[in-house]
Amino acid sequence: MTTDDAPSLAPVGLGPFDEEVYRALLTCVDATPAALAERLGQPEGRVDSACGRLRSLGLVIRMSGRRRRYTAVDPEAALEALVRERAGELDHVRGSALALSSIFHAARRQAGDGSTIELLNGPEEQGRWFVRLQHQVRSEMMVLDRPPYVLAAVNPVEPVRLDSGVHWRAIYAPEALEIPGAMDEIDDLTRRGEQGRVLPGLPLKLAIADRRIALLPLSMELGHAQGLVIRESTLLDALVELFEVYWARATPLGSSSGGAADEAPDHDRELVRLLAAGLTDNAIARQLGLSTRTMRRRTRQLFDQLEAANRFQAGIQAARRGWL
């Protein structure tokens, strides 16, 4: 690739002339501004100013001595540092865009121009809105979680929002917990403050921020994904109530605490909870850190203890004993 064919360095903050001086300096071990000016056919003062700007960016260093002489820093390291710095700046801009967008939509709703329901087309648009809701939420997030996922199954935003004090409740479909690494992630979120439950047969996905705005996917087929953004309305109120109904029916994840007339070992309580939640044997084994064979042996022992023939009967007996 020739110098003329090389990609521009403008995205990391270099102007055309500064880049010309920088590329010239790369071709020699070191040089004075006067030598570079003669080579480029430019005034020495202009080249000297460019070297100063390149130095402030960390692309060149000034050598010791009374005469100003400059040498280039290895571009692989120097440009990578500029790329990281620019990426951080862009992240701040992205955060500002979310905040400004919130102001934009709020103003239009107050003026009567905002729509209660907004149709989203495509998985990318839904994914952006889910990230936006998480950034905008201030006090409470309510989520129904089940595959398939528009974004990666691992959610990097939730831990940050939990650490900021957001109250987060999530209801998972059992199949969401069977994705490799899912239980480890949920354990971490639980330690940070998430309240998680599991509900077999969860029919839909939903995210509600501060009971003011919701994201509701309309299809489980990613190739034809459409969704709705729903603002304050009777429809949003109904979705909040639906979440609360599911929450009451769902089984808490993790061991419970509290006294009961018929105490059981913690590992039995945890096992019966996961069985009642509808997780597969493999998912339960991963959660408990056991082999599938060992988990099944413990399940048979638990059934014998509870005088149950199946999971349903075991759940009933465990509930009667106060284990759930």
What are 180-232's pLDDT values in tens digits? 777 778 888 989 999 998 888 888 999 999 999 999 988 877 666 788 999 98
Mean pLDDT for the stretch of residues 96-111: 62
Mean pLDDT for the stretch of residues 8-35: 86
Question: Could you tell me the two tokens for 289?
Answer: 């850190």
CB under 8 Å to 281, separation ≥6 — which residues? 292, 295, 296, 299
Mean pLDDT for the stretch of residues 247-275: 65
- The kind and range of the H/E element at 237 are helix 234-249
**DSSP symbols for 82-99:** HHHHHHHHHHHHHHHHHH
Q: The dihedral of CA 311, 319, 288, 178: what is its sign? A: positive
- HSE-CB of 172 using CA atoms within 13 angstroms: 25
Q: Is the pLDDT of residue 75 over 70?
A: yes
Q: Is the pLDDT of residue 292 over 90?
A: no
Q: Is the pLDDT of residue 106 over 70?
A: no
C-alpha dist (Å) from residue 195 to 33, 173, 209, 253, 296: 63, 14, 15, 8, 27
Please give the angle made by the CA atoms of 175, 176 and 181, to the nearest 5 degrees.
115
- The kind and range of the H/E element at 202 are none
CB under 8 Å to 138, separation ≥6 — which residues? 166, 210
C-alpha dist (Å) from residue 117 to 110, 143, 260: 15, 19, 47
Residue 258's pLDDT band (boundaries 50, 70, 90)?
very low
Distance CA 215, CA 228 (A): 6
Q: Which residue spans within the chain are E strands per DSSP?
A: 60-62, 70-72, 117-121, 140-145, 167-172, 195-198, 206-209, 213-217, 226-231, 251-252
Q: Is the pLDDT of residue 1 over 50?
A: no
Q: Which of 63-77, 195-209, 282-296 has the highest mean pLDDT?
A: 195-209
Q: Is the pLDDT of residue 243 over 90?
A: yes
Tell me the whole-structure pTM to 2 decimals: 0.53
In this structure, the number of other CB atoms found within 10 A of the CB of residue 121 comes to: 11
Mean pLDDT for the stretch of residues 96-106: 65
Note the pLDDT of residue 261: 38
